Every structure is written in C-alpha cells, then in structure tokens.
Amino acid sequence: MRPILLKGHERSITVVKFNYDGDLLFTASKDHVPSVWRTETGERLGTYNGHKGTIWDLDVDRFTQYLLTASADTTVKLWNCSTGETVQTYEHKGPARGVAWAEGGQYFATISDPFVDHNAQISVYKLSASLLQSHQQQDEEDGKQQQQDDKEEEYGTTPILTIDLPKTPEGKRINPTNVAWTDMNEHIFVTFDNGAIRLYDPEYGDLIEEFFPHEKKINRVSFNRDKTLFLTSSADFTAKLYDAIDFTHLKTYKTDRPVNDAVISEVKDHILLGGGQEAMSVTTTAGKVGKFETRFFHMIYQDEFGIVKGHFGPINALDIAPHGRCYASGAEDGYVRLHFFDKSYLDMKDPVPEEEEDNNNENDEEKDNHNVGEEEDENHDGVEVKGRGKKSKVKPATTTPSRTIGGESINTKVSSGRKVFYDEAEDYE
C-alpha cells in the first residue's frame, strides 16, 4: 500500500473528507486553518483562513462549490471552494460542533454545544439557489462592491428553525456530537454523547424518534452514498451498522479500543475503523501498544482481516474515496496519511464461508465413495454411503474449535481424519 504523508497542519487532525467526485480532500484540525488537497498527488491547493478556534467539522456541497466549517469560535463559515473567500459567517451561542448540507444544497444544519446559560442547539439555515447562482456569476465578473453590501441580506444569518436541547430531568446536559440528513431530507439525524440518536422533523423541529445504539459517547456517524446504511463509532469500543430506512440494527464490529471514526467502502463489503487509546496517555506508551492502526472488517461476516499502521497517535478521522481506490486517515499526531490501495487488494475477492464449507463436504463425499472395496466395520459408527452396489462407512463430521479471527472463534470441520480451514486473509500494510 502506497501512502502519501500530508504535512500541512500544526495540531491534531479533527476531520478529513473527500468531495463527491473523490478528486479533492478537505481536512481540518485544531490549528484553525482548513485545507484542501489534490487526491491524486497529495498537493495542497489552498487554505481557508478566518477562524479563530478549533475546526470540529466541515462539509462540502455536491458540486464542490461551497464549503461549510464549524468552529469552536462559535461560528460556522460558508466558503467559496475555488477562491477561498468567506461568503458568510453564521454566529452561534456556543461552540459549533457539527455541520451538514441537505440534499439539493439549499439548506444546511448545524449543532452547537451548551455555553454558560445557553443550552445546546440544532439550527437549520436556508440558502436561496438563485442567490447562490447570482453570487457565482458576480464572482465570474470580478465581483462588485454592491455584492459585499448585500451579502447579509442575500444569504441571511438567522436560522429558519432552532431546536433547543434542554437538560435532562436529572439536570444533566446532553451534548450533540454529529448532525446529518437522512435520505430525501426526511429527518435531521443527530447523535449525542450519551449514546443516543434522535430524529427531528426538519420543518417543525418535533422529535420523531429516539433510540440508544451505544452505552457511551457516539464519536462519529457516516452514511453510505445512497443513504441506505449508516455506521456509528463509539467510545464503548464498538461500531454498529444500521439500516437507514427503518433504523434496525444489522451488525456490530467489536474492538479493544475506543472507535473514533468508521467508514463504509462504496466498492467492497468492507468497513474501516480507526481509534486508539485516550489522547492524554499517548506520550506514555509506544505506538504499538497504543494500537493506532486502521482496522479492516468484512461488513457481512464481521471478521477483521487486515490492519494498516503508520500513525503515532489515536486516529481521529477517516474517509474513503467514493471510487474506492484510496482512503485518508488523520490522527492526534497532526498528520494526514493518504493511502492508495494495491492492485492485489482491489482485485481481491472476499471468501464466502458457506460456499467453502459446502465444497469441502462435497469433496469429502466424493473421495469416500471410492472406498467401496473396503470391508464394512460393523463396530464403527458412521453414515452409510452407497456406491457401485456396495456400502461403505464414513465417519460423521465433528466440529472442533480452530482459530480466532477478529476476536470470534471460527469452527473447522474434521471429516475422514482431515482438517478443512477457511482461507487465511492477507494483511495489507
């Protein structure tokens, strides 16, 4: 696997995200300056200067025209992706924790932390598509002074919907950690630090549903491109796969460390997980002990089949390119690693245990059928197999524990005195 080390940030990485086409990579960290990189070469194309606090989240629109960033300086900024110009700044009452474009690019949602007497909030803003198009045309005409004067009026900084998140009946604050939109903008999807997920009506702000997939904080959530599946990453050492239509639990991927981010591959049935020990303990342990690897799991069978090393701190952010040829990881060490998959991985076919077991049983039966010339052993318990007019005895298959993959015991079949193992999966480093 060929990695490119992106050295452009001075502090811990908080988020990495590819655009819709996968040719650009957007990154942010605690150094206040988001950056954009060319995926193919790892070249930094530019930065977006203006924030005065940690960038906790960012999102780029469908056509890579506008970028949204959420910062601890209590603002969300709208940027022109091409020029790096700040189009608008949206003030919040507390540190802005997350931001997400709605489908169509006319709305976006933000979440903010509680601050002093202000509760945490979910806010929805509306942008006029015609005004955005007008703004783009003015940029092409080298802009006008009137554009600067009318910005506030055109885009508006007042949310069309605000959802207050008060304290629980026990007097405890709950903080939102991520915000997203479900398919066709049906719900505003929000995760919390108490392990909860809530769905809100985007028009009236009513709470539609609440469920608890995790016992601890949900660090990150990611959807596949079709928004039919979503994957949650939690501090309870697990990542869980859910159906995004009826919100039923499908799979659980267990690890021995907090999971800070996890993503779904668009071209393979694979899940990528990143995490590691607490950041405060990083300087007291070696990288091998801290377990700062990206871990690969099979989506269906939940088996871990590979790891990729390289970082010297817990992985805070992951994203895989839509075309599936590379993925990016950002860690507490301040580096972004852009990994390009080898041809052997791209051409790899995932083993299907059920088919392998059936084929092995068929092969055993065929070989036993050739033993028709042997005498029957009346004292041997077995299964009768007919062949060429005679009967032979075949010792029934027994199950014995064999080995462990990804923390789960995989059984092997012992038939006619021979062991049949599943193929070993190759590690890609």
Task: Check residue 170 and give its pLDDT.
Answer: 82
CA 267 to chain centroid, in Å, comes to: 14
pLDDT digits (tens, 9 = 90+) for 293-339: 999 999 999 999 999 998 989 999 999 999 999 999 999 999 999 99
Look at 258-272, 299-313, 366-380, 411-425 and tell me which has the smallest mean pLDDT: 411-425
Task: Check residue 132 and give its pLDDT.
Answer: 59
Q: How far is 327 from 111, CA to CA, in rounded Å?
A: 27
Crossing angle of helices 145-155 and 129-140, rounded to 10°: 170
Q: How far is 14 from 420, CA to CA, in rounded Å?
A: 45
The residue ranges of every structural domain in the chain are 2-346, 374-420
Q: How far is 190 from 202, CA to CA, in rounded Å?
A: 12
pLDDT bin (cut points 50, 70, 90) of residue 398 is: very low
Q: How far is 372 from 188, CA to CA, in rounded Å?
A: 68
Residues constituting the chain: 429
Give pTM, 2 decimals. Answer: 0.78
Q: How far is 68 from 98, CA to CA, in rounded Å?
A: 10
Q: What angle do CA 218, 76, 90 make, to 5 degrees?
A: 135
pLDDT bin (cut points 50, 70, 90) of residue 225 is: very high
Could you please state the CATH topology (level 3) that the domain comprising 2-346 is classified under.
Methylamine Dehydrogenase; Chain H (2.130.10)
Buried b (16+ CB within 10 A) or exposed e, 139-159: eeeeeeeeeeeebeebbbeeb
Task: Check residue 171 and give its pLDDT.
Answer: 81
369 pLDDT more than 60: no
